[in-house]
Amino acid sequence: MTDQEQVGTPEESVAAASAAAVTGTTEEVVAANPLRDPRDKRLPRVAGPCVLVLFGVTGDLARKKLLPAIYDLANRGLLPPGFSLVGFARRDWADQDFAKLTYDAVKQHARTPFREEVWKQLSEGVFFCPGEFTDDGAFDALAMMLKEIDETRGTGGNYGFYLSVPPKFFPVVVEQLKRTDLAHGPAGAWRRVVIEKPFGHDLKSAHELNAITSAVFPESSVFRIDHYLGKETVQNVMALRFANNLFEPIWNRGYVDHVQITMAEDIGIGGRAGYYDGIGAARDVIQNHLLQLLALVAMEDPTSFDADSLRREKEKVLKAVQLPHDLSLATARGRYAAGWQGGEPVVGYVEEEGIPADSITETYAAIKLEIANRRWAGVPFYLRTGKRLGRRTTEVAVVFQKAPHLPFSKDDTEILGHNALVIRVQPDEGITVRFGSKVPGTAMEVRDVSMDFAYGESFMESSPEAYERLLLDVLIGDPPLFPHQREVELSWKILDPIEEFWASQGPPEEYPAGSWGPASADAMMARDGRVWRRL
């Protein structure tokens, strides 16, 4: 049904609603809803009636992000009446115990103020199902419980399964969902599964992981969460590029010198030794977050913002990514040594608890990529990420070429750098434009200045947390912000040769904690006559 038809006369939409009421699917009922009108922009996108089943409720992610995000959604009035949340974990708990955990998580981490009536609405629909993933009885009980919730709360057989558990448990959970027939709903109801990164640790394991979920759920029902894509600023990359006429004409090899995409963290690996060692910075960050950012910055304009068109453009540009011939000259890796970070002494990577002394895992990775298409040929994309760097920041910097001719004397423009457009993803989200300006005074001296647009300044407070947006999209069934399996595989294809090369190179070069990475990363830029932006 097109928008035009939806507008229709009230009588038509009422007739359509009654028709859908008899035969239709959930989506059809929603589309035929006489009270909804595309022109009525005040009404928020509200998820339809559904249940969210959360596996791994006791994990950090659930407590710090997912449960608070669910409350915030309810507080903003974006959850349907009757929305229910089922927790599943190996705990001898009753519904109240899980409600208590949720209450504590909400009180501590929710972004919107706590309101008793919202909690009352939410807590009515909080249930807990105890059991092990291998226990058939527990999943039979879960199936029964969901059926009962459908009857008592009118959730219409629509279930989302959020697997907030390590990937090694995916096969058994997915198999159980298949066995209990929870993976396939009756006609008109939807079933969706949500998985978190890591999506494998190389191309082969990504294939295997996908084989497990795709054997049970169709690709359209699999939602892979890369929480970076839920961030306002990342979505704003698309607004900036495609809603304006100011930037797109220069967004190509004719004007761009190179692009730097950085994600720097000031923290170490913390308690994640078991996960991190053997994975490293490149697999942890570059494969997903940075390559997704690269795709959004470099892709051609999609024909529309629906999932198909957007993913197609991202895939095209990921396919066009080429590795340099000599990886020893175009990549750098390092690991942090003991040092001072922000005024505190910190230990080196190999001294962290749980890290073997002969570890060759990198905590800093920098790579140079090229994109073989008409727009970007010859423009290098430098990606870097690291832990225990100077400070926490994530940004995309598009650095432009120098002006072809400067009608000033050489002395006047000595300290003039490249123009740059910087998209700051976190913290302090916003956009900076750097350009040359005359220094006040009688002499003609030109120097770099920054013009700043801070997101928080023009649109304060309203920006929702990434998980809020992504959870709502899952419940509504709106997939553009979730990477497709093909994108995951293309990213591994880019990274696998680099990882293979690094595996043969012994331990990475050390850099002092609190610095900006190993010397080899600076040398890599110097070979191209460029420097990293000082962050």
Partner 1 sequence: MTSFMLTDTTASKISSQLTHLRHQLGSPAVGMVLTLVVLCDEGSQYDAVRAATEAAREHPSRILVVITRGADEPNRLDAELRVGESTPGEVILLRLYGELTRHADSVVSPLLLTDTPVVAWWPGESPEVPAEDPVGALAQRRIVDARAATPSVRAIASRARAYVPGDTDLAWTRLTPWRSLLAAAFDQPVGKVKRGLVEGSPDHSSAPLLAAWLGERLGAPMKVAESGGPGLTAVRLTTAEGDIVISRSDARLATLSRPGQPNRQVALTRRPTAELLAEELRRLDPDEVYEAAIRRVARTHKS
Q: Does residue 476 belong to the site contacting partner 1 (CB under 8 A)?
A: no
Taking CB under 8 A as the binding criterion, the range among 15-23, 130-138, 172-180, 298-306 that sits at the site for partner 1 is 15-23
Q: Does residue 1 belong to the site contacting partner 1 (CB under 8 A)?
A: no
Taking CB under 8 A as the binding criterion, the range among 19-27, 362-370, 393-401, 504-512 that sits at the site for partner 1 is 19-27
Q: Does residue 86 belong to the site contacting partner 1 (CB under 8 A)?
A: no
Shortest Cβ 423–partner 1 spacing (Å):
16
Q: Does residue 457 belong to the site contacting partner 1 (CB under 8 A)?
A: yes
Member of 48, 87, 160, 479 binding partner 1 (CB under 8 A): 48
Q: Does residue 518 belong to the site contacting partner 1 (CB under 8 A)?
A: no
Interaction residues for partner 1, span 125-154 (CB under 8 A): 152-154
Nearer to partner 1, 462 or 504 (CB): 462
> What is the C-alpha to C-alpha distance for residues 400 and 293, in angstroms, rounded to an integer?
18
Nearer to partner 1, 73 or 194 (CB): 73
Nearer to partner 1, 48 or 517 (CB): 48
Residue 67: count of CB within 10 angstroms of its CB:
28
The values of phi and psi at residue 345, to 5°, are: -75, 135
C-alpha 325 chain-centroid distance: 30
Residue count, binding to partner 1 (CB under 8 A) = 52
Mind telling me the catalytic residues?
289
Q: Does residue 187 belong to the site contacting partner 1 (CB under 8 A)?
A: no
> What is the C-alpha to C-alpha distance for residues 386 and 508, in angstroms, rounded to an integer?
13
Residue 147: count of CB within 10 angstroms of its CB:
12
| Cβ contact 185:451 at 8 Å | no
Burial tier of 442 (Cβ tally within 10 Å: 0-12, 13-18, 19+): exposed
> What is the C-alpha to C-alpha distance for residues 383 and 102, in angstroms, rounded to an integer?
38
Shortest Cβ 83–partner 1 spacing (Å):
9
Taking CB under 8 A as the binding criterion, the range among 33-41, 170-178, 308-316, 439-447 that sits at the site for partner 1 is 33-41
Dihedral class, residue 169 (left if φ above 0, else alpha if ψ from -120 to 50, else beta) = alpha
Q: Does residue 3 belong to the site contacting partner 1 (CB under 8 A)?
A: no
Which residues does 412 contact at the CB level (< 8 Å), separation at least 6?
Answer: 443, 444, 445, 446
Cross-strand pairs, 427: none
CA distances from 326 to 322, 323, 428, 498, 510 (A): 12, 9, 37, 10, 22
Which residues does 525 contact at the CB level (< 8 Å), separation at least 6?
Answer: 382, 531, 532
Member of 1, 5, 14, 275 binding partner 1 (CB under 8 A): 14
Member of 2, 3, 4, 44 binding partner 1 (CB under 8 A): 44
> What is the C-alpha to C-alpha distance for residues 34 and 7, in angstroms, rounded to an integer?
9
Member of 6, 58, 121, 309 binding partner 1 (CB under 8 A): 121
| Cβ contact 326:535 at 8 Å | no
∠531-284-388 over CA atoms, to 5°? 55
Measured in residues, the chain has a length of: 535
Q: Residues 341-370 vs partner 1: string with x where CB under 8 A?
A: ------------------------------
Taking CB under 8 A as the binding criterion, the range among 91-99, 321-329, 452-460, 496-504 that sits at the site for partner 1 is 452-460
Q: Does residue 244 belong to the site contacting partner 1 (CB under 8 A)?
A: no
Query: Which residues of this protein are in contact with partner 1, per CB under 8 A?
Result: 10-11, 13-14, 17-18, 20-22, 24, 26, 29-30, 33-37, 39-44, 46, 48-49, 74-75, 77, 80-82, 115-118, 120-121, 124, 152-154, 156, 453-454, 457-462
